[in-house]
Chain A
Amino acid sequence: MDVINSADPRQRRGFLKRALAVVLGALAGLAPVGAGLMAFLDPLRRREAAAEGMIRVASLEALPEDGVPRKFAVIATHTDAWNKFPAVPIGAVYLRRTGPAAVHALNVTCPHAGCFVEFVSARGGFLCPCHNSTFAVDGKINDSKSPSPRALDELAVEIRNQDEIWVRFQNFRAGTAQKLPVS
């Protein structure tokens, strides 16, 4: 590195030139890099559209009386970047009868890493095919070795007009002990 001797005007001018060249060059590059970074970081600014409220998923008579869970697709409008798809599956739920007019709903997504769990009747509970997380029929973790940090995510259910099962469908963040909605 050259030692800048401010007493020497020639040296000082040289330094000024260097500094100016670097600053002006950086300035010229600022706009493209800045615009690029803004666009790149845009997803951080976006929030998941608020849950659509209750969605009708199935009818009560489609659920077995014996309390065995059944899987149903959740159909709603889905927005993917520029496209809007009316009435497409946006996820799935396991529904289980807990009384003559009472239903329990679980999101099928495993809270560990996001795979879909399956109900295995031989085990009487849910098994995740990815890392073998296991859950009881009510969604609770039933094995201390289960990799999932929390139980399956319960969803709010309403029975309307005696027979319609409506669910507040929501996805939650994977990998955390708390149940936090994806936003």
Chain B
Amino acid sequence: MKRLLDWLDHRTGYRRLSHEALYENIPGGARWRYVWGSTLVFCLTVQFITGLFLWMAYSPSSLSAWESVFVIQHEITGGWLLRGIHHFTASVMNVLLVLHLMQVVIDGAYKAPRELNFWFGIVLLNLVLALSLTGYLLPWDQKGFWATRVATNLLSIVPLAGPALQKLVLGGTDYGHHTLTRFFALHAGFLPMALVSLIVAHIWLFRRHGITARTPLRRPDQAFWPDQVLKDAVACLAVMAAVLFLVLRPWLFQTGEELGAELGAPADPSNPYKAARPEWYFLFLFQFLKYFPGQTEIVGAVIIPSLLMGVIFVMPIIGRWERGHRFNVGLLFALLGGVCLLTWLGMRQDRLDPDYQLAVLEANRETARVKLLAKSPTGIPSTGAASLLRTDPLTAGPKIFASHCASCHRYEGHDGTGKALKEAPTASDLKGFASRAWLSGLLDPDRVASAHYFGGNKFKDGKMVKFVKKDVAGFGSEQKVQLGKVIAALSAEAGLKTQQRQEAQDAAAIAEGRKLITSADMRCTECHTFHKQDEDATAPDLTGYGSRDWLISFLGDPGHDRFYGKRNAGMPAYDKEKTFDLGLVADWLRGEWYEPAATR
């Protein structure tokens, strides 16, 4: 063994090298306050290891980035842990960077002859921030997408070069495949390479000048190995423990969140994300921008941050003056205080903002929904996971309802998305449309003229309301039973999923009800049509009432002779607008959307 090592040493000189690396003298002995640099090198190593493994499963394109991260998070063994460690180490690293900077400035380690190394450090700080920023986009979820959109749009306000710079970063004028390929190349290629070369220089210069010992020296000198290494190892272990704590927090406290890093709903440029926020360590900048109205944005986004970075950069020069060092330390604490204050203000404003809280709830709902759809038997189509939500009635239906229908109609009293509206409705509440319960209300003399049905528009004085209020109100007990059968039969026309079992049981009553609808006693076909052509019909066709086809035709043209004809109370014909998929609203109103089979 010794001969082999001698041979190796003769060829490489590794003994001298390792001796130099390990037996660096530390004046005054090993101390805890010197561990920050080592913990940062440790974090960086962790990011390299986890990053390389993540790279093996990640695919940078707008149709596959979210999807591949979904597989990492939910299908690959240990993927959530790997991603969680990478994500939270990035967070922890930003804290450690600040601590390292504080220690260097407080101990005066930036003064001559170490200025150059301080500057290297500041560049390294910016590189790590750039890594955080580029990494935030890579999962291509709503949160990362909209936050990065804001960040890159700010880039465009940089004087002269801004728009070109933005185009270069995005790989074009719009966000897409090339944005991801570029961000990924920056995140996993250029930035790490720059970082490593600078760190080598940083550590080499650090070793050249030696550690800036805290005076007075309290103990005799020690060597780096093993005394300082032991302290460094303990600190690194503590850092990893903190990271693992953050990864496992949902499990430790049973918060119901997912383990590891969050993955929101897939990015969708057509679906604005009101809960967009940067990662917490950039929140102070986000908050800071709120104080710069209109055209002064550039001051908050570019000028002031650049100036402050510039002041930090010249700290070694300021430090030469008599009170320079004190000024530097004071400035650093003031900056840190400012950052903390802005972060706190930002968080507090969000906490107190009901709209933001609603947006977060909606985002969580969409996240849960898309995961369910991605795991469904049909899986993720080649058009990407974002299309799963766009074509999902449960997700898209309420939004379409809120923007197109809720100006007149309501859904269980709200606009479909859960938001209450101040104005009184002028058309019926469509929750449970065509169901037995809904029809029973319509045929109830006490309710037919309420705001829930015809109370909000001209139909409140119409024939239907009169019929219900007079004729139905006067029904005897036998006729009431018949009415029940009519309701069952009419509701069966819709073929609602929720009533399937009930309708199979009531087949006989439904058959009877069908006959009753056309009977003279019930008077339905005096105005309506039912499975028979009737030129004189003046009220909506009851054939297939509430079925998918009926709803799509109705929404397409309610003023058609088959429906309200000229008596239409101002409902638009949506097939002329072609702004949304009528089938999505129809399916949502009918309760037709994917639900996983109940597992027992």
User: Which residues in A have some Cβ–Cβ distance to B below 8 Å?
Assistant: 14, 17-18, 20-22, 24-25, 27-29, 31-42, 45, 79, 81-86
Contact = CB atoms under 8 A, between A and B. Distances in A.
Contacts of B229: 21, 25
A17 to B, nearest CB: 4
Contacts of B85: 31-32, 35
A17 B233 CA distance: 11
A85 B382 contact: yes
Contact of B234 (A18, A24, A31, A35): A24
Nearest to A38: B78
A39 B50 CA distance: 10
Given A25-B237, A35-B53, A83-B380, 12 more contacts: A18-B225, A21-B232, A32-B82, A33-B49, A36-B82, A38-B77, A39-B76, A41-B77, A45-B77, A82-B380, A82-B385, A84-B381
Contacts of A82: 64, 67-68, 70-71, 374, 379-380, 385
B53 A17 contact: no
Nearest to B84: A35
A18 B230 CA distance: 7
B239 A28 contact: yes
A45 B76 CA distance: 10
Contacts of B82: 32, 35-36, 38-39
A17 B232 CA distance: 12
Contact of B226 (A21, A31, A33): A21
Nearest to A19: B226
A24 B225 CA distance: 14
A28 B233 contact: yes
A83 B379 contact: yes
B353 interface: no
B381 A83 contact: yes
Contacts of A24: 230, 233-234, 236-237
A133 to B, nearest CB: 34
A39 B73 CA distance: 10
Nearest to B231: A21
A39 B53 contact: yes
B64 A39 contact: no
Contact of B42 (A17, A28, A41, A84): A28
Nearest to A15: B226
B230 A20 contact: yes
Q: Of residues B46, B82, B243, which shows the largest number of chain A Cβ atoms within 10 Å of its Cβ? A: B82
Q: Which 4 A-B pairs have the closest CB atoms?
A: A38-B78, A84-B379, A36-B53, A82-B67
Nearest to B374: A82
B504 interface: no
Interface residues of B, number: 45
A17 B380 contact: no
B403 to A, nearest CB: 31
Contact of A40 (B42, B53, B67): B53
Nearest to A24: B233
A21 B70 contact: no
Nearest to B85: A32
B452 to A, nearest CB: 43
A84 B379 CA distance: 6
B240 interface: yes
A41 B385 CA distance: 26
Contacts of B239: 28
Interface string B317-346: 000000000000000000000000000000
Interface in B62-95: 64, 67-68, 70-72, 76-79, 81-82, 85, 89
B52 interface: yes
A32 B226 contact: no
Contact of B379 (A20, A27, A37, A79): A79
Contacts of B70: 82
Interface in B225-257: 225-227, 229-230, 232-234, 236-237, 239-240, 243-244
B220 to A, nearest CB: 13
Nearest to A77: B379
B598 interface: no
B226 A18 contact: yes
Nearest to A36: B53
A123 B44 CA distance: 62
B237 A42 contact: no
A83 B59 CA distance: 12
Interface string B514-534: 000000000000000000000
B56 interface: yes
Interface string B37-57: 000001001100110111011
29 contacts: A17-B226, A21-B226, A24-B233, A25-B229, A25-B233, A25-B236, A27-B237, A31-B81, A31-B240, A35-B81, A35-B82, A36-B52, A36-B53, A38-B78, A38-B82, A39-B53, A39-B56, A39-B72, A39-B78, A41-B77, A45-B77, A81-B67, A82-B67, A82-B70, A82-B374, A83-B64, A83-B381, A84-B380, A86-B378
A167 B25 CA distance: 76
Contacts of A40: 53, 56
Contacts of B379: 79, 82-84
Contacts of A83: 64, 67, 379-382
A75 to B, nearest CB: 16
B78 A35 contact: yes
A2 to B, nearest CB: 11
A29 B236 CA distance: 9
Contacts of A17: 226-227, 230
B319 to A, nearest CB: 34
Contacts of A29: 45-46, 49, 240
B43 to A, nearest CB: 10
A37 B234 CA distance: 24
Interface in B368-407: 374, 378-382, 385
Nearest to A26: B233
Contacts of A14: 226
A18 B64 CA distance: 47
Nearest to A44: B77
Nearest to B38: A25
Interface in B152-170: none
Nearest to A27: B237
Nearest to A79: B379
A24 B35 CA distance: 14
Contacts of B79: 39, 42
